[in-house]
Structure 1
């Protein structure tokens, strides 16, 4: 399987790249500045060679996304999976009275519109057997468990869950699995030092969801990285 992974330069993204490569998949690792690729990807490139393509991919740049998709199509490349991982978390713990709406606009542009742009342009390349689209969501996006705070991040992930559900309905007759996945509270730059989950464990669970194609038990395509249904 060939897998496109956005936000692949560090944190969960880099661990997803490593896990997929270790399982024998080909990976297109999307990063904003490939010429500045961080050490984890450089090491993986040295080990896995042509199995890893490090590509310029800024999820806010639709022209760049379209250009990359066209380039890969011209090379005869196909995809079996897309993992929309790129995201930001800003205005943390900011009360609504103090919220700068620019933070809201920036977050939606990356966390929601970014995956929409990627799917728009890369869906035609998703032609391998038993394909999957996985949108990295969060428990913060659960309406049932809403809490005050993290407004931009939580609302963007709720909207991302809706996008996943729409894609599921649109693509199910093609046999494309579409999931929103809560990756756990991870020990990354975003999650912080107190987070209990190892991002490599989360990455392993997410790649397994792609490989095993275990459908959620409920109506909604919202799971955690272990395959447990999440409250929508």
Structure 2
């Protein structure tokens, strides 16, 4: 299986790339600036060779996304899974009275419109036997468990869950598994040092979902990395 991963240069994206390669899959690791220091991915490339392709992929750049998709299609590359992982967390703990709407615009552009752009242009490459689209969501996107603060991030993830559900309806007859996945509160640059979940553990669970070792059974396509239903 070939797997496209956005935001693959660090954090969960890097762990997903590592786990996929360990399991024998090919990985297209999308990063915004492949010319900058990508030591971790370079080390993976040294180990896995042609199994890993590092590609420039900025989820806010639709023209660049389309060009990459066309390039891969021209090389007869196919995909079995797309993991929309790239995201930002802005205006942390900022209440509505102080909210800068530029943070809203930036966050929605990356966290919601980014996955939509990627699916728009890479869906034609999703032709392998086992198919998945994984949108990395968050428990922060649950309306049931809404809390005050983190407005840009939470609202973007709620909207991403809706996009996942719409894709599920659109693609289920094609046999494409579409999931919004809460990866856990992880010990990453975004999650912080106090986060309890190891991103390696989360990556393993998400890969189990892609390989369908774990099969969610709920009505809504919003689960955690173990496949357990999350509250919408």
Instruction: Give, in whole Å, the separation in 2 of the partners of 1:181 and 1:94.
Output: 25
Q: Once superposed, what is the RMSD of the aligned Cα atoms?
A: 0.8
| Residue of structure 1 equivalent to 2:194 | 194
Asked whether the 8 Å contact 1:8–1:31 carries over to 2, the reply is: yes
Instruction: Give, in whole Å, the separation in 1 of the partners of 2:120 and 2:217.
Output: 28
Asked whether the 8 Å contact 2:208–2:214 carries over to 1, the reply is: no
1:60-116 C-alpha deviation (Å, 9 max, x unpaired): 000000000000000000000000000000000000000000000000000000000
Asked whether the 8 Å contact 1:9–1:37 carries over to 2, the reply is: no
1:18-49 C-alpha deviation (Å, 9 max, x unpaired): 00000000000000011114221010000000
Unmatched 5+ stretches in structure 2: none
| Residue of structure 2 equivalent to 1:23 | 23
TM-score (norm: length of structure 1): 0.99
Correspondence list, 1:39-58, <5 A: 39-58=39-58
| Residue of structure 2 equivalent to 1:98 | 98
Asked whether the 8 Å contact 1:20–1:27 carries over to 2, the reply is: yes
Correspondence list, 1:1-232, <5 A: 1-212=1-212, 214-232=214-232
Please identify runs of 4+ aligned residues in structure 1 that moved more than 6 A: none
Give the CA deviation at 1:155: 0.2
TM-score (norm: length of structure 2): 0.99
Residue 7 of structure 1 aligns to a residue whose secondary structure is: coil
Instruction: Give, in whole Å, the separation in 1 of the partners of 2:218 and 2:58.
Output: 34
Unmatched 5+ stretches in structure 1: none
Asked whether the 8 Å contact 1:33–1:56 carries over to 2, the reply is: yes
Asked whether the 8 Å contact 2:214–2:226 carries over to 1, the reply is: no
What is the number of equivalent residue pairs in this alignment? 232
Give the CA deviation at 1:215: 3.8
Give the CA deviation at 1:212: 1.2
Give the CA deviation at 1:217: 2.5
1:186-213 C-alpha deviation (Å, 9 max, x unpaired): 0000000000100010001001100016
Give the CA deviation at 1:5: 0.1
Give the CA deviation at 1:132: 0.2
Instruction: Give, in whole Å, the separation in 2 of the partners of 1:178 and 1:212.
Output: 12
